[in-house]
Structure 1
Amino acid sequence: MENNMLKGFDENTSFISQPVEKEKPEYSKAETLLSVFVLIASFCFVRYVLFHAMGFITTAVFIAIISAAIIYMKKKECEFSRFNKVFAAVLYIFSLVFSITANSLVKNLDAAFLIGAGAYFVYSVGASSDKIDRFLPYAMFKAIFEYPFSHIGTQASITSDSLSNSKTGSNAKLIILGLIITVPLTAIVASLLMSADDGLERMLSGIYDKIFREEFWNIILQLIVAVPCSLYLFGLFYSNSHRNGLIALNEQVCTQKLYNMRAISNLVVYTAVTPICILYVLFFISQAGYFLSAFTKSLPEGFTYADYARRGFFELFAVALINLGVLCFMSLFSKKAGREKPSALKFYSVLLSAFTLVLIATAMSKMVMYISKYGLTALRFYTSWFMVLLAMIFVLIIIKQFRFDMKFSKHLAVVFTLMFGLLCFSRPEAVIARYNIEMYKSGNLEELDTDTIMRMSDDAVLTAYNEGVITSEDISEFHEHNYSADADKLRYFNISSVILETRSH
C-alpha cells in the first residue's frame, strides 16, 4: 500500500517550495571608492560649511566634490556636452568665493547656490543635456529631490556588502561588538578604582577632560549629521549614472501638467487685474510731482532726505514682488495662455510689468538719493541689488510676450547667475566701506562711522586700513575681540583675513 502511494515520485522530489533569493545588485569598485570618498566629503561639508563659516578649506571641499562628480560620471561613460563643460567651469569659479571674501552672508548664499546648481549639473550630465531645460523648475525638482532620494539607501547597501564580503569588515564588526560589551564594564571598574585612589582619580579625570572636551562632542554631532548628507550625495551621483527605472523629464508631460493648471477664464483674470492697473494710473497721477522729485534729485516740500527716501520704499518693493506673483498667476492659471495667449492677456502682462518697472525706477532713484546723502549700508546695498535683479526679470517678461519661443528659463538662469556673480565677487562690504570713505574724504559725508565698519567682515576692515582710516592697533583690538577661540579661526581662512592678520603684527 505504501509503495503504491510513493510510486511515480522521485526520492529527491521536494514537497516544500524553496524561497527564491532576491538577486543582489552588483556594485563596481568605482561605487565602493565613491562611497568612501562621499562619506569623508560629507563630514568635511558638515564641518566646514554647516558648523563653521567658510574659507580656503570650503573652497577645497567644493572643488573636490565637483571633481569627484566629473571623474565618476566619466567613469560611467556619461557624455559631457559643451554646456556641461561651461557649467562645470562656473561651479569651479563660484567655489572660489569662500576664499576671496569674509562676508558670511555672501558665503552662505554661495553655498546654497553651489548645492542647487551642483545637483542640477550632475543631473544634466546624466541626461546628456546640451542646454538649460525648458521646464527648469521640474528639472530642478528631479535633480534635487526625486533622483537622489530614489537611491538614498544605496550607499548603506554597498557598505554592508563590502563589510560582509571582506575579512577586515568581519573583524571590524567583532571589534565594535567587543567594545560595546566592554565599555560599560570598564566604566564601572574605573569608577570603583577612582573612589579607592586619589592619584588614579586625578589621572583619569585629566585624560577625560582632554579627550571628552566640547570639541569632541562637536565632532560626534558632525559625524551624525554627515551620515544623511553622505547618503544623499551618493544617491545623487548613483541615480544620475544609473537611470534605469527612473522617470526621465518629458516635455510633453510637463506641457500637459501646465495645461491642466489652466482653469480660470481669461475674462475673470482681466476683471481682476483691471482695477489694479487703474489704481496704478491714479496713483502715478496723484503722486506725479512726488515721484518726479526722485529723478530730479530735489526734495518735495516738507520732507528731509531720510523721510523722503524711507517713505514708501519698502512698500514699493513689496508691490513689485506682488506684481511678479500676479504675472505668474496669470500665465499659469488663465485658460488661454502659452502659445495661444490672446493679445489682451499679453497687453495686461506688459502693462503690469511696465508699471512695476516705473515703481522700481522710482524706488531706486530715491535710494540713490539717500545713499548719496547718508552713505551705504549692507541693507541698502543688498536691497538695491535685488531691485535691479527684479527689474531685469520684468524686462524678460515683457520680451516674452512678443517672442514666445524665447527660452525664458535659460535667460533667467543666465541673468541670475551673472547678477549673483556680481554680488559675490564684488565683495559687498569692501564696496560699502570704500564708498563711505571716499564720500567722507570728498566732504559729501559729514561723519564716517568707523565703528560700523569694524563690526563688518574683514573685507571692510582691510579696506578701511588700506584707506588709512584705522590703524594696526585698531586691527589688533578687533582680532582680540573676534578671534577668541582657536576653533573659531577656521571661519577666517580667506584672503582678506590672512592679509589683515599680517597687517596687525
Structure 2
Amino acid sequence: MDAVFALCAFALGYLFLRLVTVFYAGAGVTIFAALYAVLVLAYAHCSGVRCSRAGWGWLAFFLADSLLFLRGIAAPLQPAALLFLAGLAVYWTLVLFGARLSGRVDGCLGGDLRNAFWWGPFGNFSALPGALAHGLKRRGPGQKQRGAAAPAVLLGILLTLLLMPLVLFLLAGADPSFERALSVLFGWIDFDFPSVFLRLVLAVPVSFYLFGLFWGARRGAGLRSSAEKLCQAAEKRRSLGFAAAGIPIAALLAVYLIFFAAQLPYFVSAFSDLLPAGFTYAGYARRGFFELLWVTAVNLALLFFLKRRVRPGGRARRVLSALLCGATLLLLGTAARKLGLYIGIFGLTRKRVWAAWAMALVGVVVLLALADEFRQLPLARALALLCCGWFFLLCAVNADSLVLRYNCAAWQAGRIEEMDVSAVDPVFAAGALYEIRWSASDAGLRQRCEEALGRAANRERLRAESGDRAAGFTLAGLRASRLAEKT
C-alpha cells in the first residue's frame, strides 16, 4: 500500500509544479488542494484511520480557502495566501492522523506547525524510496505473491517518464532528420519536452516531502518535542518578576499621560470633526498616522513580552496591563479616526482597506489580552482562530469592487473631487466598472471604465498565452473578459 501511495505522491508532486504558480495562482491551486485532500483521505482510509469531527472541520476550512483561488485573489495577497493555504494543508494532515502534540489548538500550535512544515516531512524524507524498496523486494517462499509485480511495473513506468523526454530532446538536437521525424509524429501535441523533464526531476524532492508528511503523521515518526516539554519550556520562560515589564509599562504610561495632556485639543479634534489651526484636512489626517501605529506595535510587543516571560498574578500587574491596553486602544482609535478622515477626503484605496482591516484585528487582539489579565482565557487558541478567520475574510472580500463602488458614490455626492478608476485592479472590479459604465452620466468616466475593462481583457489574454491557461484560470478573469466583450 505504501509503495502505491508513494507513486501517487510522485504524481501529485508533478501536478504541484504544473498547477501551482506564484504569478498566476488560480484554479490550479484549487485543483491541487482537492487532489491532495483525496490522496491523504485515501491513505488514511487504507490505514484504518477515521477522520474526526475536528478533521472534517479543518478539511472544510482548507477546501473553502482553496476555492478563493478559483474565484481569484489580488496579486499582492497571493504569496501570503499560498503560505496560509499550505499551513492549513499540513495542519489538517496532523489533525486527521491525530499527530498534534496536545490534540487541540493551544499553546502547542507553534510546535505542531514546526512538525508539520519541517520535522515531519524532512525527518521522513527517505520514506518514499523506502516504501518503494519495500514493495519491490522479493518475497519469501511462504508469502503471498499476488500483486508482487505491480510496484515493479509502476517503477518502470516512472523511470521511463523521467528518461524518455531527456533522451528525445538530446537526440532531436543532435540530428535534424530525427527532429523532423519527431515533429511529424508529435507535432500535433503541444508538448514542451524540456519543461516536462524539469518538472519530473523537481517532482522527486516535492514528492519526498509530501509523502514524508502524511506517512510520518500516520506513524508519528520524525515528530519532535511533546506537549509536556513545550509546557515546561513555556513555564521556564515565564520566570521573570513583574518589575521586568512593570517598570517600562509605568514609564510608558507616564509618557502617554504627558503626551495626551499636551496634545489633547489636537487629538480630541480627530473625534469631533474639528480642524486644528494651521492644518489642512489632508495634512491633519496624514500627520502622525504611521507614528501612532508604530507606538501601538511597541505596546503590543511589550504585552507579548509580559505574557511570555513574566510570572502571572498580582493586582499591580493587572492594573498596569489594563492601563497599557487602554492607552493602546486610544492610540489605535485616534489612528483609525485619522484614516477615516483621509478616506473621507480622498476616497478608498486597496491599501487603506487593508490598513483598516489590520487596525481592527489589532484592536481585537488588545481586547483579548486585556480580558486574559482578569479571567484566564485560552488565549493562544483564540488568537490562532481569530487570525485565521480574519485573513480568510481579507482574501474573500473583493476590496477592489468595494473601493470603486464607494468612490463612485462619494464622487457623485461631491465628497471627493476625483474619480480615479486606475487605482483598482480592473479584473476584480470588472462588475463595478461595467455597472458604472452603463449608469454614469459623465462621458469621461464611461470612457475610463471602458479602457479599464479593456486592460482587464488584455491581461487575461496575456495570461492565457503564457502557458498557464488552466492553472491560472479565475472566475474573476472570465467575468472581466466577458464584460469587456459586452462593452
TM-score range, shorter chain: 0.7 to 0.9
C-alpha change, 1:276 and 1:221, in structure 2 (3 Å) is: farther
Distance in 2 (CA, whole Å) between partners of 1:109 and 1:231 is 24
Contact preservation (8 Å) 1:472, 1:504:
yes
Identify unmatched segments of 5+ residues in structure 2.
139-148, 438-445
Residue 287 of structure 1 deviates from its aligned partner by 1.4
**Partner residue of 2:441?**
none
Question: Counterpart in 2 of 1:158?
Answer: 131
SS at match of 2:417: coil
> Which residue is 1:465 aligned to?
434
Which residue is equivalent to 1:494? 474
Can you give the 5+ residue segments of structure 1 that lack an aligned partner in the other structure?
A: 1-28, 195-199
Deviation for aligned residue 1:349: 2.2
- Residue in 2 aligned with 1:254? 230
Change (3 A) 1:330 1:502: same
Closer, same or farther: CA 253–441 of 1 in aligned 2, 3 Å: same
Once the two structures are superposed, what CA deviation does each residue of 1:307-360 show, in whole Å capped at 9, x if it has no partner? 1122211121122222211111122222x23xxx22222223222222111111
1:141 aligns with 2:119: no
Question: Aligned pair in 2 of structure 1 residues 492, 437: CA closer, same or farther (>3 Å)?
Answer: farther
Residues 56-100 of structure 1: per-residue CA shift (max 9 Å, x gap): 232121122123223322332334332222222111211110122
> What are the equivalent positions in structure 2 for 1:345-494 lying under 5 Å apart?
345-404=317-376, 406-453=377-424, 456-468=425-437, 469=446, 474-480=452-458, 483-484=461-462, 485-490=465-470, 493-494=473-474
* Secondary structure in 1 matching 2:21: helix
Shift of 1:173: 9.0
Report what 1:168 is aligned to.
Answer: 153
1:163 Cα deviation after fit: 5.9
Distance in 1 (alpha carbons) for counterparts of 2:64 and 2:353 = 23
Structure 2 distance, partners of 1:177, 1:292, is 70
Query: Partners in 2 of 1:184 and 1:109 — Cα distance?
Result: 37
Residue 231 of structure 1 corresponds to: 208
1:332 maps to what in 2?
A: 308
Query: Residue 183 and residue 480 in structure 1: after superposition, are their counterparts in 2 closer, same or farther (change >3 A)?
Result: closer
Do the aligned partners of residues 421 and 478 (structure 1) sit closer, same or farther apart at CA in structure 2, a change above 3 Å counting? closer
Equivalent-residue separation in structure 1 for 2:38 and 2:179 (angstroms): 49
Q: Matches of residues 304-343 of structure 1 in structure 2 within 5 Å?
A: 304-334=280-310, 336-337=311-312, 341-343=313-315
Aligned residues: 460
> 1:38-61, CA deviations, whole angstroms, 9 ceiling, x for partnerless residues?
222233323332344222232121
Q: Any idea what SS the aligned residue of 1:257 has?
A: helix
Q: Cα deviation per residue 1:262-316 (whole Å; 9 max; x = unaligned)?
A: 3533323322332122111111111111111111122221112221122211121
Tell me the SS of whatever aligns to 1:96. Answer: helix
Q: Aligned in 2, Cα 1:164/1:106: closer, same or farther, shift over 3 Å?
A: same
| Counterparts in 2 of 1:297 and 1:217: CA distance versus 1, 3 Å | farther
Q: Does the C-alpha gap of structure 1 residues 238 and 103 become closer, same or farther in structure 2, counting only changes over 3 Å?
A: same
Do 1:163 and 1:169's aligned partners in 2 also have CA atoms closer than 8 Å?
no
Query: Aligned Cα RMSD in Å?
Result: 3.4
Alpha carbons 1:437, 1:464 under 8 Å: kept: no
1:363 CA drift (Å): 0.5
Label 1:176 to 1:414 Cα distance change in 2 as closer, same or farther (>3 A).
closer
Q: Which has the larger radius of gyration?
A: 1
Change beyond 3 A, Cα 1:173–1:109: closer
Q: Distance in 1 between matches of 2:72 and 2:162?
A: 47
Aligned CA distance change for structure 1 residues 279 and 204 (closer, same or farther; 3 Å): farther
Partner of 2:94: 123
What's the counterpart of residue 106 of structure 1?
77
Does residue 36 of structure 2 align to residue 60 of structure 1?
no
Give the whole-Å Cα distance in 1 for the aligned partners of 2:419 and 2:242: 56
Kindly state the Cα deviation for residue 185 of structure 1 after the two structures are TM-superposed.
9.3
User: Partners in 2 of 1:92 and 1:156 — Cα distance?
Assistant: 30
Q: How big is each residue's C-alpha offset from its partner over 1:486-505, in whole Å with a ceiling of 9 and x where there is no partner?
A: 42545652222111212222
Distance in structure 2 (CA, Å) of the matches to 1:189 and 1:90: 52
Instruction: Tell me the residue number matched to 2:60.
Output: 89
How far apart are 1:113 and its partner, in Å? 1.2
The one of 281, 286, 297 equivalent to 2:262 is: 286
Amino acid at match of 1:318: W
TM-score scaled to structure 2, two decimals? 0.83
Q: What CA deviation, in whole Å up to 9, does each residue of 1:221-273 have, x standing for no partner?
A: 444443322221111111111125745632x3222101222353332332233
Matches of 1:181 and 1:449, distance apart in 2: 52
- Matched to 1:135, the amino acid is C
Whether 1:276 aligns to 2:252 is yes
Contact conserved, 2:26 with 2:69, CA < 8 A, in 1?
A: yes
